């Protein structure tokens, strides 16, 4: 009989890489805890020689040993099981590295910075939680953080990726006493400029909305009917009048100050003057505060917007009545990752497009993705502000939501691209809506360009195409001479 133990085929190489990844996770974790191999073996009730050989990659791991090691070393159990390829398979919605692009063999750790309260972050986490690069020696580590921390997290890791808005200019922090937004200017806050690398545009995001309580609806307006611009102005004025009658400032609660910055459009900016703004990055807490009517208005992500709408809250300002409320969700990387492992960045983007292509083609695949995300968060005991049905609704909207002939007052919340060029037409459509609004407001082309720059970092070709189509539609925007 042939000795198969010395074969150097793909299966054997993959097993060796898997053992090495586990060892690379466990060794430094034990060292941080001040635990020797002998002491760890004693606690695990295993032979020290076996543990030592396993940490050298000479022996395999049992699930029982891995679970015990995770507890002793202070590592997440699910990550260690995934690294050892012993975690239960997800619901069947799998992504295969071989179907995208081959990459060279290497040993490295890739940090995926994500905030589960945002669906694009959740999707990136889900994709890379499957350890698609384990066969080539790359271990994916899931790193949870709040969105405002992403730029700093990207720069603090050698190899890291995250999904962020393409236009990066958010205020980083707000004093505990809050800040007043008056005459279009912020009060006390600190700006931080962090060097990160933009790689690919993944989605068009138009879920920004100012949400209010149904009790502030103007007379004759139903809560389930999208508000037009005049009705939105009337409702916000009623909020201010009610607050004044109660001898207090009107309060706007947001999950992220960067989102408030997006609301500073030619249409919405002045509407927020006089509101006292508080930030709470924890979605579940923020929604509870709003539901208890301790805040008059709420601004959050698409998942929170859908959840609150189901509870009877009112979307006052949204991209249907302010077409400037749009941004581009993009893949960002740490500088070192882009310099040293560019093909890996290519592959992360390719996996995103492959996932979206599958979601476009199959409702059952979208369901599997939603279940996989919820299971991933459950294993990490993460508090969520939404349920699987809300997540399914978001995914359905993002890949097969309102089409070109749909009611413009009810636009889709996301548009996920299944290839880089797929964002061009939806973006141009949104820009034409903004151009029409700019014409109604009497904005010059320069004012229009400045308004778009507040939310988007557009290539000049997109802007020029928007102006060209605007002229074809008899809009009066004219670009000034350079």
Exposure string (b/e) for 265-291, b if CB count within 10 Å is 16 or more? bbbbbebbebbbbbbbbebeebbebbe
- For residue 464, what pLDDT is reported? 61
Percentage of the chain modeled with pLDDT above 70: 73
Exposure string (b/e) for 145-171, b if CB count within 10 Å is 16 or more? bbbbbbbebbeebebbbbbbbbbbebb
Structure tokens given for 4:
């198969």
Q: pTM for the whole thing?
A: 0.64
**185 C-beta neighbours (distance < 10 Å), count:** 10
Angle between helices 363-379 and 119-129 (to 10 degrees): 80
Nearest to 25, CA basis, from 63, 81, 106, 95: 81
CATH of the domain spanning 4-83: 1.10.260.40
Instruction: Check: CB of residue 210 under 8 Å from CB of residue 290.
Output: no
Rounded to 5, what percent of the chain is helix, strand, coil? Answer: 50, 15, 35
Nearest to 146, CA basis, from 106, 173, 176, 181: 173
Residue 410 CA to its chain's centroid (Å): 22
pLDDT bracket for residue 217 (50, 70, 90): confident
Give the tens place of pLDDT for each residue, 345-372: 888 999 999 999 998 888 888 888 989 9
User: For 79-84, which contacts have Cβ atoms below 8 Å and span 24 or more sequence positions?
Assistant: 79/25, 79/141, 79/142, 80/22, 80/25, 80/26, 82/129, 82/130, 82/131, 83/18, 83/21, 83/22, 83/25, 83/131, 83/134, 83/139, 84/18, 84/21, 84/22
Alpha carbon distance 436, 441 (integer Å): 9
User: How large is the average pLDDT for residues 87-115?
Assistant: 65
Residue linked to tokens 């700006």: 191
Structure tokens given for 153:
């997290």
- For residue 322, what pLDDT is reported? 84
Sign for the CA dihedral angle at 93, 98, 101, 105 comes to positive
Q: Which residues contact 107 (CB under 8 A, 6 or more apart)?
A: 17, 20, 21, 24, 137, 138
97-169+188-200+328-388: which CATH number, 3.20.20.220, 3.40.50.410, 3.40.1190.20, 3.40.190.10?
Answer: 3.40.190.10
Alpha carbon distance 43, 73 (integer Å): 11
Alpha carbon distance 201, 193 (integer Å): 21
Q: Which residues contact 160 (CB under 8 A, 6 or more apart)?
A: 110, 111, 112, 113, 143, 153, 154, 333, 334, 337
Instruction: Check: CB of residue 311 under 8 Å from CB of residue 387.
Output: no
Alpha carbon distance 77, 66 (integer Å): 8
Nearest to 411, CA basis, from 141, 268, 207, 144: 207
pLDDT bracket for residue 323 (50, 70, 90): confident
Residue 1 CA to its chain's centroid (Å): 54
Q: Is 196 left (phi over 0), alpha (psi -120 to 50) or beta?
A: beta
Is 390's pLDDT higher than 50? yes
Instruction: Check: CB of residue 22 under 8 Å from CB of residue 83.
Output: yes
Instruction: Check: CB of residue 142 under 8 Å from CB of residue 129.
Output: yes
Instruction: Check: CB of residue 113 under 8 Å from CB of residue 122.
Output: no
Structure tokens given for 214:
């149904």
pLDDT bracket for residue 455 (50, 70, 90): low
**Residue 191, φ and ψ in degrees, nearest 5:** -95, 145
Instruction: Check: CB of residue 214 under 8 Å from CB of residue 312.
Output: yes
* 3 state DSSP class of 190: strand
- The domain limits of the chain are 4-83, 97-169+188-200+328-388, 210-325, 422-482
Give the tens place of pLDDT for each residue, 159-208: 999 988 775 433 333 333 333 333 333 333 233 334 678 888 888 888 88
User: How large is the average pLDDT for residues 459-479?
Assistant: 54
Higher pLDDT, 244 or 380: 244
**Residue 295, φ and ψ in degrees, nearest 5:** -135, 145
Alpha carbon distance 312, 91 (integer Å): 33
């Amino acid at each position: 009989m042939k000795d198969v133990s010395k074969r150097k085929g793909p299966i054997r190489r993959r097993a060796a890489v898997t053992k090495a990844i586990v060892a690379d996770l466990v060794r430094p974790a034990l060292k941080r805890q001040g635990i020797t191999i002998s002491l760890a073996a004693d606690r695990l009730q295993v032979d020290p020689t076996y543990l030592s050989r396993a940490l050298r990659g000479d022996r395999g791991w049992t699930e029982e040993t891995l679970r015990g090691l995770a507890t002793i070393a202070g590592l997440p159990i699910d990550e260690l099981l995934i690294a050892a390829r012993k975690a239960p398979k997800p619901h069947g919605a799998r992504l295969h590295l071989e179907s995208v692009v081959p990459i060279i063999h290497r040993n490295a750790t890739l940090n995926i910075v994500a905030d589960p309260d945002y669906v694009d972050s959740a999707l990136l986490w889900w994709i890379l939680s499957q350890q698609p690069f384990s066969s080539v020696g790359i271990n994916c580590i899931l790193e949870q953080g709040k969105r405002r921390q992403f730029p700093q997290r990207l720069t603090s890791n050698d190899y890291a990726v995250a999904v962020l808005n393409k236009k990066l200019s958010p205020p980083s922090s707000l004093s505990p006493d809050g800040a007043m937004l008056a005459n279009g200017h912020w009060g006390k806050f600190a700006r931080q400029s962090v060097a990160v690398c933009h790689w690919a545009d993944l989605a068009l995001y138009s879920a920004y909305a100012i949400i209010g309580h149904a009790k502030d609806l103007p007379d004759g307006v139903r809560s389930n009917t999208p508000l037009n611009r005049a009705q939105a102005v009337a409702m916000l004025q009623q909020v201010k009048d009610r607050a004044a009658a109660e001898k207090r400032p009107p309060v706007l609660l947001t999950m992220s100050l960067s989102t408030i910055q997006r609301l500073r459009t030619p249409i919405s900016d002045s509407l927020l003057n006089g509101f006292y703004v508080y930030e709470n990055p924890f979605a579940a807490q923020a929604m509870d505060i709003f539901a208890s009517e301790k805040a008059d208005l709420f601004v959050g992500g698409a998942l929170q917007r859908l959840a609150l709408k189901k509870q009877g809250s009112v979307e006052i300002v949204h991209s249907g009545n302010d077409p400037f409320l749009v941004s581009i969700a993009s893949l960002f990387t740490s500088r070192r990752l882009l310099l040293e492992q560019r093909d890996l960045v290519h592959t992360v983007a390719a996996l995103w497009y492959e996932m979206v292509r599958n979601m476009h083609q199959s409702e059952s695949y979208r369901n599997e993705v939603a279940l996989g995300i919820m299971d991933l968060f459950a294993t990490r005991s993460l508090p969520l502000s939404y349920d699987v049905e809300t997540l399914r609704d978001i995914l359905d909207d993002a890949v097969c939501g309102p089409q070109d002939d749909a009611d413009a007052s009810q636009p889709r919340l996301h548009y996920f691209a299944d290839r880089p060029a797929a964002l061009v037409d939806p973006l141009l459509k949104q820009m034409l809506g903004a151009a029409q609004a700019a014409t109604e407001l009497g904005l010059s082309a320069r004012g229009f360009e400045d308004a778009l720059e507040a939310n988007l970092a557009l290539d000049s070709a997109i802007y020029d195409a928007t102006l060209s189509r605007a002229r074809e539609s008899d809009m009066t925007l004219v670009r000034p001479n350079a």
